[in-house]
Amino acid sequence: MRIISLSPFLLVVLLIVLSPCESSNNVIEKTCRKTTNYALCVSTLKSDPRSATADPAGLASITLDVLLPKANATFTYTLKLFESVSGGTSLYRFYGTCVDVYGNIVASHIPNALSELAARKFSDARGDAAMVGNNAAFCEEQFGGRNPLTPGNNEVHDLATVAADIIGSLG
């Protein structure tokens, strides 16, 4: 029977190669512990390969990057619903309010949060990320109960809250 021995050089190389995986998981878990939705934070960040090399500010940016297409999909769906109802009805007003809200989310709040985060203006970035969550909740409240936008509103709200929490932990 032959015993395999590793040279000290090979052992060091293996440790260096394997250590980033461990440390990236630690950064994700440590960062996500500072949020109000640990499970969503971890699953979102672990699903994006950029997280493996990201610092906490990078993780916040990744969360906003994941949020943008979700908010855009909700905006597109809201616009479709708005166009399908008659003017003057309460649904027309509710969907119209949500179209305005999501238009601001995708055109202003998320892009601003990303820019402010890159400029290390954490307070401003957190404010814009929090505004996304608040606006999604406001859209939901227009209906006074479950409606076709509820899944999208909840998803956008929850992910925006995670982003705001991460940014808030940066300083």
Q: Which pair of tokens denotes residue 91?
A: 């649904």
Q: Please report the pLDDT score of residue 1 as a whole number.
A: 52
**Angstrom distance (rounded) from CA 146 to CA 49:** 34
Tens place of pLDDT for every residue, the chain, 171 residues? Answer: 555 555 555 444 444 444 444 456 799 999 999 999 999 999 999 999 999 999 999 999 999 999 999 999 999 999 999 999 988 889 999 999 999 999 999 999 999 999 999 999 999 999 999 999 999 999 999 998 879 999 999 999 999 999 999 999 998
* pLDDT at residue 4 in the model: 53
For each of the domains in the chain, give its residue range(s) and CATH number, in order of start.
Answer: 25-168 (1.20.140.40)
Query: Rounded to an integer, what distance in angstroms lies between the CA atom of residue 37 and that of residue 25?
Result: 17
Name the residue among 101, 111, 115, 116 with its Cα closest to residue 152. 101
Whether the CB-CB separation of 110 and 100 falls below 8 Å is answered with: no
> pTM for the complete prediction?
0.85
